[in-house]
Amino acid sequence: MSKSSIVVGIDLHKRKFDFVMMNSTGEIIKQGSRSTEACSVLEFASSLTLRHEAVLEPLENSFWFIEQLQPYAGSVHLANTGKVRLIAESRLKNDRIDARILADLFRVGYLPEVYIPGREVYQWRCLIQHRIRLVWDRTRLKNRTIGLLNREGYRVAVSDPFGKKGRAQIDSFELSFMVRRMVDSNLVSLDLLSSQISDIEKEIKQIVDADPIASNLCTIDGVAEFTALAIRAIVGWMDRFRSFKAFAAYTGLIPSYRQSANRVHHGPITKQGSSTLRWLLLQASKHVIRKSDYFNRMYRRIIRRSSEKNARVVVAHALARIIYHVWMEARPYYR
């Protein structure tokens, strides 16, 4: 930051935010609290100039808040919450102190930042997250319905209890009045959720077909439209990683290690970076093992001397390497 810059540390909450403004020497110029109502945020944002560099931590409403600041502030930065907590752990803690810590860390160049996606990428993230939550809701509803049937001593004797044959069996069960009522209500909700998920998947397919990067990712074995768009939305732009090693570190699929003098201890995977991306790669590894001879051989080779869990991690790490090169080279995957 330049000597004329003013750092604005912001501790954002759902109903209010605290801010601290300081110059390059750390002197506090202004501080206060504001409501997060649209008019209050806009009034605060419009008071900023290109000299102001805003810093805040991610929250549910942080993207909307950032969009209000960007037209006025010189730059907006999003802090890595976990790393900031490790750096700035203190016995004295309140919202104003948190805002000051963020400003201080940015002022001295020690602020660990996270990527701020553009509006289109952010909307893709929202769509992917909405689809994941709907699938979770549908799974919970299915489990609840199976539990109701088990309570009455019934089992659905087909592989898919909620397919055509399974539903026919459920309709034929002689359930008590109240259980039948709850089961029928759950089935109606299941149909609605399935319809919504189907509509979202059609929208995802349209987005993938229109985006060259996501389309190339779909050519990789085990990567379907949903996974391709999810990876595209989480990563945003691959060129923000200087190499594959940096991207692999972001997936959290690399082994941890500690070094002291000549001693090096290797441990389990770091699980740092995006947990959703790591989950997607591990899920995709199940499919790619079945579809690709190359990955199947890799999986079998690892599982002979290690566990199934470790074998899947190795496959997911190799899949991440392919994703990196397909993305950076702007080409389909050649088997």
Q: Mean pLDDT in each 10-residue stretch from start to end of the chain (335 residues)?
A: 88 93 93 95 95 91 93 94 68 76 89 90 95 96 96 92 94 94 96 97 97 95 94 94 92 81 75 90 93 92 91 94 95 86
Q: What is the pTM of this model?
A: 0.85
Q: What is the pLDDT of residue 311?
A: 93
Q: What is the pLDDT of residue 110?
A: 86
6-114 is classed CATH 3.30.420.140: yes
Q: What are the Cα distances from residue 56, in Å, to 22, 53, 70, 119, 266?
A: 14, 10, 13, 18, 34
Tokens for 90, please give them. Answer: 């203190």
DSSP 321-332: HHHHHHHHTT-P
Q: What is the pLDDT of residue 84?
A: 78
Integer Cα distance of 128 and 122 in angstroms: 10
Integer Cα distance of 145 and 205 in angstroms: 31
Residue 233 neighbours by CB distance under 10 Å? 23
Integer Cα distance of 164 and 166 in angstroms: 6
The candidate with the shortest Cα–Cα distance to 247, out of 325, 137, 169, 329, is 325
Integer Cα distance of 93 and 107 in angstroms: 20
Integer Cα distance of 186 and 146 in angstroms: 10
Stretch (H or E) spanning 269: strand 263-269
For the chain, give every domain's residue range: 6-114, 119-210, 225-328
Between strands 255-260 and 263-269, the pairing is antiparallel
Q: What is the pLDDT of residue 98?
A: 87
DSSP 275-312: HHHHHHHHHHHHHHHHH-HHHHHHHHHHHHHS-HHHHH
Q: What is the pLDDT of residue 269?
A: 87
Q: What is the pLDDT of residue 126?
A: 94
Integer Cα distance of 123 and 211 in angstroms: 14
Cα 129 to chain centroid distance, Å, stands at 8
Helical H segments across the chain, by residue range: 38-46, 62-69, 81-87, 95-107, 119-151, 164-172, 177-210, 212-217, 225-235, 244-251, 275-291, 293-305, 308-328
Residue 264: strand pairing partners: 259
Q: What is the pLDDT of residue 86?
A: 57
Q: What is the pLDDT of residue 224?
A: 93
